[in-house]
Structure formats: structure tokens, C-alpha cells
Amino acid sequence: MGIIGVSVLIVCVCGLLAGVVLAIASRVFAVTVDPRIEKIEAVLPGANCSGCGQPSCFVFASHIVNMGAAPDQCVQLREEGVLKVGQLLGREVSMRERQVAVVRCYGGPQSKKLFAYGGFQSCRIAEYYGSGGNACEYNCMTLGDCFNICPFGAITHTRGSTPSIDSAVCTGCGKCVKECPKQIIRLVPVSAHAHVACSSRDKGAHVRAICPVGCITCLKCVKICPQQAIANTDGLIEIDYALCTACGDCIRACPRGIIIDLRAPRTGEVLPQ
């Protein structure tokens, strides 16, 4: 047997041994996975957007099967998907209303500037440098961190204007809500009607001095609402969408014109004066 024969033999024997060891190991250390998890994961969108609170679709699928998590926590799954997951699980599932993100500021470029910010073009960094030069503490800095983080391309943004969020594309995953350093993006039900486009908690006189479209907390909307759905919490106007009947009284009553109709077609650009 020549040198080639010996080499081939030894490598073959080593390979065979390795194969046998792995075959035995895969039997001994086999982990059983519930087959439903894989099927449910196939129904889930697979974007790993973490809108459900889990790091990935696979983890969420195993939570649905093992911990009884509700499949409608997935922000992207539409009704037929939820029903399909319910079929796979063999239990009743419900569908909650879809949520979409809206920006609570239209002041952006219109409000007063204290200085021209020329630093790194990111909201999170500009926040450390005097709010990017904005006089208003609650002002959208218009540098587009939300645009950059959106995994679904629902946000359109040009530098210098507040971003607009396409409610048809938005899945309500909440990534922009967490990303915004000013915390002026919030989630509302997709059927929401009136929306207060200002997040300021400042006093009226101060707001009036620095922003043409800021909320001066005059409370006209709170008083006019027939359902008592609007409340003033620490200077911030909040609408309870569970009570709102979409009568539109507050939209007409607002002297600053900053309660807007979310159902009306809008561009998200600067409000008319």
C-alpha cells in the first residue's frame, strides 16, 4: 500500500469516526421543539421589528405557544393572519384595532430659533446641544431620526420640515416613538379623528412668544367637548379616543388651529396660518 493509500485510508477513517460521533450526539442531545412554533413563525411577518416587545418573531412565536401571548400583539399581523394563528393554536383569538404613529408637533421650522445648529445631523445628538437651537423644548428638531429608524418606510422627511407618517403604511411598531428624543411621537388608533399637534407643556404666554402653532392651553377644547373626552394633564392636552365620537367640535373651536383631523387628507407639511 503506497503513501497515497495510507493517507486516503486515514482521512476516510477519521471522517467516518467524526460522522458516527455526530450522529450519536444528535440523537443523545436532541432538543424537541413544538412543531406549532415553526408554523406560527411562518405566518408572522418575519421583520423582527420587536413591536410586540420580543426580540424576534421566533421568540414571539414560542411565547404565543408556551406562555399564551395574544397573537394580535404583533403590530403587523392583519386580521386574516391572526385568525390563521388561532387555527394553528386551536384557541380563540381576538383582533385589536391597528395603531399608527403621529407626530405631535407642527411647529418645526416655524418656531423661534435661538442659534443655528451646525453639528451632527441627528436628533439624539442635537438634543444635547441646546435642543438643536430651538427655543421650544418640545419642538420637532426635523433632523429625521424617526425617518432613519422606521423599518417600513412609512415616514417621509425632508430636512427642515416635520416628518409626515403615512397611516396606510405605518404598522404602529413604536420604534419612532422610542427613538424620538423629544418624545413627541405617539401611537393613536387608526380610526382616531381629532389630534392635538403640539406637545408643549409650557405656559401660554411663553408659547405665544416662540411659536405660531403652539398650544397655549386655553382649554377651549376641554370645555366644548360634549363627551368630556379631552383633558388637560399637566399642561398637555390629551384626547381619550375611547370616548371621542368624532363630532369635530374641538377642531373648530381651537383658536390656534392645531387640533387637526387625522382622517382628512394631509401632507404633514406646515399648517396654514
- Residue from 2, 4, 26, 117 touching other proteins (CB under 8 A): that is 26
- Give the residue with the Cβ less far from other proteins, 73 or 121: 121
Helix (H) or strand (E) holding 241: none
Q: What is the DSSP letter of 11?
A: H
From the list 134, 273, 138, 142, the residue with the least C-alpha distance to 213 is 273
72 half-sphere exposure, CB direction, 13 A CA radius = 12
Q: Which of 4, 31, 116, 168 binds other proteins (CB under 8 A)?
A: 31
- Burial of 3-13, coded b for 16+ CB within 10 Å and e otherwise, reads eeeeeeeeeee
Work out which of 4, 30, 116, 264 binds other proteins, going by CB under 8 A: 30
| Least gap, CB of 169 to other proteins (angstroms) | 28
Q: Which of residues 101-120 bind other proteins (CB under 8 A)?
A: 120
Dist. CA 133–CA 117, nearest whole Å: 6
Contacts of 129 (CB under 8 A, 6+ apart): 117, 119
Region from 8-16, 179-187, 188-196, 227-235 binding other proteins, contact rule CB under 8 A: 8-16
Beta carbon nearer to other proteins, 121 or 156 = 121
In a 10 Å sphere around its CB, with 0-12 CB exposed, 13-18 middle and 19+ buried, how is residue 273 labelled? exposed
Residue whose grid cell is 420604534: 175
Note whether 18 binds other proteins by CB under 8 A: yes
The residue whose grid cell reads 411663553 is 206
Handedness of CA 77, 79, 82, 84 (dihedral sign): negative
The reply on whether position 4 binds other proteins by CB under 8 A is no
Nearer to other proteins, 25 or 219 (CB): 25
Stretch that binds other proteins, among 23-31, 154-162, 183-191, 195-203 (CB under 8 A): 23-31
Site for other proteins (CB under 8 A): which residue of 1, 2, 4, 29? 29
Residue with cell 394553528: 88
Rounded Cα gap, residues 199 and 186, in angstroms: 10
Residue placing its CB nearer to other proteins in the complex, 30 or 67: 30
* 239 strand-pairing partners: 230
If binding is defined by CB under 8 A, does position 23 make contact with other proteins?
no
Q: Give 13 or 114: the residue with its C-beta nearer to other proteins.
A: 13
Q: Which range touches other proteins (CB under 8 A), out of 17-25, 110-118, 141-149, 254-262?
A: 17-25
Out of 10, 42, 209, 219, name the contact with other proteins by CB under 8 A.
10
Rounded to a whole number of angstroms, the minimum distance from the CB of residue 17 to other proteins is 8
Report residue 124 as a C-alpha cell.
Answer: 439624539
130 part of the interface to other proteins, by CB under 8 A: no
Residues forming the site for other proteins (CB under 8 A): 6-7, 10-11, 14-15, 18, 21-22, 25-26, 29-31, 120, 122, 125
